[in-house]
Chains A and B, each alone.
Chain A
Amino acid sequence: MRTMEPTEEILLVAYRTMRTIRSFEEKLVELVTRGKLGGFLHTYIGEEAVAAGVCANLSDDDHVASTHRGHGHCIAKGVDVRGMMAELFGAGSGICKGRGGSMHIADLGRGMLGANGIVGAGIPLATGAALTAKLKKTGGVGVAFFGDGASNQGAFHESLNMAANWKLPAVYVCENNGWGEFTPTEFVVPVADIAERARSYAMHSLIADGMDFFDVYAKSGAAIARARRGEGPTLLECKTYRFAGHYVGDTLVYRNKLEADHWINHRDPLQIFTSRVVGDRLLAVEDLQRIDREVADRIEEAVSAAEAAPLPDPGDLLEDVYVQR
């Protein structure tokens, strides 16, 4: 496979995306600790290179379906963090008017079909987006992000079978982080690699190092290009790791600390990226530091705006259940 070298512009965007995801979610954890946020939150910290690497190959005309761990996909797909933060505060100015919350952030204008609280449910949705792209000849692709756990759902197998059969422009990105909620993947999956499951559907598959932006960018780029050429779907497995627990507040009693420490200390996607771009002189340290400051300011501003935003009017409770009442 020909390696696609990302341009300087792409690298700058990728770093900003990964730093924004990291800082956004570190802020969420802090806000939960201070009792400012309600609901269930699942952080993406540790998996940033997957969303950033895949979405660097996509435009607003391409559709992405996400998961309960969806903040990273939303940010990488270009959803405004101010709207996201306001949504998490339950504000009327939230991206979903305070009706969705963390597990339902969507921005159709950006091609983001929503985070999703049902494991595996986004996979057929992205398949449907790929069907639309094919029948309407939009040139777009449908991308499903999902975890190793979702690859045990019927929705995964039924979707992959249909997409392969119809040669849809779809890419199935499995984020294998080693854990399905609180259960190790190997307890519930008999195959060594989730990517092996593509063979059942005569589907192309690839495995990427999900902690390495460059590898994810190149392999997802190849899969997306293949889909756009009309050559059919790909199952791309990204080996990654969930640095925190299943949800914010998870006590992690079930996980070996040495295992987590190894990933956090030696396989951090932001550190791997920084070492590479600075070592190879692709980006200047000053550029990265400037982005860090800008991201921190943007998130503080988003929090301030969200805290000040008015809450929804309970009188609007029944609005938007239907398009036509």
Chain B
Amino acid sequence: MTAPTKSARTIPTAFAIAEALRIAMASDPDVILMGEDVAGGGSRPEGTDEMGGILSVTRGLVREFPDRVLDTPISEMGILGTAVGAALTGLRPVVELMFMDFIGTCLDPLLNQASKFRYMFGGKARVPLTVRTVTGAGLQAAAQHSQSLYWITAGIPGLKTVIPSNAADAKGLLLAAIRSDDPVIFCEPKGILFLSTDVPEEDYEVPIGTAKVVRAGSDVSLVGMGATVGMALAAADELERDGISAEVLDLRSLAPLDEDAILATLAKTGRLVVVDEATPRCGIASDIAALCVDKGFDFLNGPVKRVTAAMCPVPFSRVLEEAYMPSAARVVEAARGLL
């Protein structure tokens, strides 16, 4: 299904996510929301306004679906484990894990439970669980609220991991995630949450596992995910001024990975830069570099370049955080080095 555009409005990603949640809950009574502050006081009788989560993404939903928006204690292990049990027995929970950094307190329900049941129980179980979680640096949130840890979940067989780069894809990917019978980690990069794009009003899905060429080019491929797609597009504009034609591929899904789309753009340009907000070791960028060497060696006209975060904790000070993060300038530099 592709996104129809006739009724599009320009809204931020955070609103597009809320819209997807509203559509999913209205169309399926088994969909529930669980998480810290997701109702946020909205069901109290005094008539106070509610928080609707740390970034107010779910504000208002508790009024529409009072029995299905559940404020939880600050107990990530309990929340995730309970959601997995609920998913296994007939509900379709959407959990808000406030920041992906907090996965350290609740990895077991994902690592050893949700991801394993389908396989380990001989193909009889379904775990239709979605975990929404905020990723990425750029807000001076420092070392424990800024990490891009999707490489952990993308490396676990049985889990799917998606990461939108814009509001329209966020809505379609989230609807696909919630309706998937497999557990899906839905990453919400800080860098795009409050950026606006045209978002259709309709109910539509972006298929999980499909990358998208968001800018066509012929000299070099820039592969991004989440907030780094914007960096790649900015880099492509800059390169164009030098007469270099860059193609930009938005991965959208990290697991499953659209290998065909990566190899197709590599075959077209022969040069590839992958841009990843995460640390470089054992990550998506390294994985894609390995894919290019393993299955795309004959297409390569040079090395595969990885533009990633630095191999250190995310620092607080603005100048250090900027030095830590990948950027359009670093993508331009890497691409120029290939030509």
Chain A residues packing against B (C-beta within 8 Å): 63, 65, 94-100, 104, 106, 108-109, 113-114, 116-118, 121, 123-129, 131-133, 135-136, 142, 154-155, 158-159, 161-162, 165-166, 319-325
Show 16 residue pairs from A and B whose CB-CB distance is below 8 angstroms, ordered by the A residue: A65-B85, A99-B119, A108-B121, A113-B85, A121-B113, A128-B86, A129-B85, A133-B89, A135-B67, A142-B89, A320-B123, A322-B118, A322-B158, A323-B181, A323-B182, A324-B208
For residue B113, which residues in chain A have a CB less than 8 angstroms away from its CB?
A: 116, 118, 121, 125
> Do the beta carbons of A142 and B122 come within 8 Å of each other?
no
> Do the beta carbons of A131 and B126 come within 8 Å of each other?
no
Bound complex: CA A323 to CA B67 (Å): 29
> Do the beta carbons of B125 and A108 come within 8 Å of each other?
yes
Number of interface residues of B (CB under 8 A): 47
Bound complex: CA A154 to CA B73 (Å): 13
Q: Is B160 an interface residue (CB 8 A)?
A: yes
For residue A124, which residues in chain B have a CB less than 8 angstroms away from its CB?
A: 77-78, 80-82, 84-85, 109
Rounded to whole Å, the gap between the CB of A203 and the closest CB of chain B is 14
For residue A322, which residues in chain B have a CB less than 8 angstroms away from its CB?
A: 118, 158, 160, 182
Bound complex: CA A94 to CA B84 (Å): 24
B85 partner, pick from A117, A128, A325, beta carbons under 8 A: A128
Bound complex: CA A96 to CA B116 (Å): 12
> Do the beta carbons of B89 and A321 come within 8 Å of each other?
no
Q: Is B90 an interface residue (CB 8 A)?
A: yes
Q: Is B112 an interface residue (CB 8 A)?
A: yes
Rounded to whole Å, the gap between the CB of B32 and the closest CB of chain A is 7
Which chain B residues (140-165) contact chain A, with CB distance < 8 Å?
157-158, 160
Q: Which chain B residue has the least Cβ–Cβ distance from A132?
A: B89
For residue B86, which residues in chain A have a CB less than 8 angstroms away from its CB?
A: 128-129, 131-132
> Do the beta carbons of B89 and A63 come within 8 Å of each other?
yes
Bound complex: CA A79 to CA B30 (Å): 28
For residue B317, which residues in chain A have a CB less than 8 angstroms away from its CB?
A: none
Q: Which chain A residue has the least Cβ–Cβ distance from B67?
A: A135
Q: How many A-B residue pairs have CB under 8 A?
A: 151
For residue B72, which residues in chain A have a CB less than 8 angstroms away from its CB?
A: 162
Q: Which chain A residue has the least Cβ–Cβ distance from B75?
A: A158
Q: A114-B117, A132-B89, A323-B182 are in contact. Are A121 and B108 (CB under 8 A)?
A: yes
Bound complex: CA A117 to CA B117 (Å): 12
> Do the beta carbons of B108 and A118 come within 8 Å of each other?
yes
Bound complex: CA A108 to CA B158 (Å): 18
Chain B residues packing against A (C-beta within 8 Å): 30, 32, 67-68, 70, 72-73, 75, 77-91, 93, 108-109, 112-113, 116-126, 157-158, 160, 180-182, 208, 256
Bound complex: CA A83 to CA B32 (Å): 35
A125 partner, pick from B73, B88, B121, B123, beta carbons under 8 A: B88
> Do the beta carbons of A128 and B122 come within 8 Å of each other?
no
> Do the beta carbons of B182 and A104 come within 8 Å of each other?
no
For residue B83, which residues in chain A have a CB less than 8 angstroms away from its CB?
A: 128
> Do the beta carbons of B181 and A159 come within 8 Å of each other?
no
> Do the beta carbons of A108 and B90 come within 8 Å of each other?
no
Q: A99-B119, A117-B112 are in contact. Are A136 and B90 (CB under 8 A)?
A: yes
> Do the beta carbons of B89 and A154 come within 8 Å of each other?
no
Bound complex: CA A301 to CA B118 (Å): 29
> Do the beta carbons of A135 and B89 come within 8 Å of each other?
no
| B109, B122, B123: residue with the most chain A Cβ atoms closer than 10 Å | B122
For residue B208, which residues in chain A have a CB less than 8 angstroms away from its CB?
A: 324
Rounded to whole Å, the gap between the CB of B208 and the closest CB of chain A is 8
Bound complex: CA A325 to CA B180 (Å): 11
Bound complex: CA A129 to CA B84 (Å): 9
Rounded to whole Å, the gap between the CB of A319 and the closest CB of chain B is 7
Bound complex: CA A322 to CA B119 (Å): 8
> Do the beta carbons of B84 and A128 come within 8 Å of each other?
yes
Rounded to whole Å, the gap between the CB of B234 and the closest CB of chain A is 35
Q: A135-B67, A323-B182, A324-B182 are in contact. Are A106 and B90 (CB under 8 A)?
A: no
Bound complex: CA A150 to CA B99 (Å): 27
Rounded to whole Å, the gap between the CB of A7 and the closest CB of chain B is 29
Bound complex: CA A121 to CA B106 (Å): 11
Q: Which chain B residue has the least Cβ–Cβ distance from A138?
A: B90
Rounded to whole Å, the gap between the CB of A134 and the closest CB of chain B is 10
Rounded to whole Å, the gap between the CB of A279 and the closest CB of chain B is 41
> Do the beta carbons of B75 and A106 come within 8 Å of each other?
no
Q: Which chain A residue has the least Cβ–Cβ distance from B105?
A: A154
Rounded to whole Å, the gap between the CB of A105 and the closest CB of chain B is 9
> Do the beta carbons of B85 and A319 come within 8 Å of each other?
no
Q: A158-B78, A322-B182, A324-B181 are in contact. Are A100 and B122 (CB under 8 A)?
A: yes
Bound complex: CA A135 to CA B90 (Å): 10
> Do the beta carbons of A106 and B124 come within 8 Å of each other?
yes
**Other CB < 8 Å A-B pairs besides A132-B89, A159-B81, A323-B181, 5 of them?**
A118-B108, A118-B112, A128-B93, A324-B181, A324-B208
Q: Which chain A residue has the least Cβ–Cβ distance from B115?
A: A321
For residue A161, which residues in chain B have a CB less than 8 angstroms away from its CB?
A: 73, 75, 78
Bound complex: CA A63 to CA B87 (Å): 13
A97 partner, pick from B32, B73, B122, beta carbons under 8 A: B122
Q: A124-B109, A125-B85, A158-B77 are in contact. Are A135 and B157 (CB under 8 A)?
A: no
Rounded to whole Å, the gap between the CB of A199 and the closest CB of chain B is 17
Bound complex: CA A154 to CA B84 (Å): 16
Rounded to whole Å, the gap between the CB of B279 and the closest CB of chain A is 27
> Do the beta carbons of A162 and B75 come within 8 Å of each other?
yes
For residue B109, which residues in chain A have a CB less than 8 angstroms away from its CB?
A: 121, 124
Rounded to whole Å, the gap between the CB of B268 and the closest CB of chain A is 26
For residue B80, which residues in chain A have a CB less than 8 angstroms away from its CB?
A: 124
> Do the beta carbons of B82 and A113 come within 8 Å of each other?
no
| A123, A125, A133: residue with the most chain B Cβ atoms closer than 10 Å | A125
A128 partner, pick from B88, B160, B181, beta carbons under 8 A: B88
B120 partner, pick from A100, A131, A135, A159, beta carbons under 8 A: A100
For residue B116, which residues in chain A have a CB less than 8 angstroms away from its CB?
A: 104
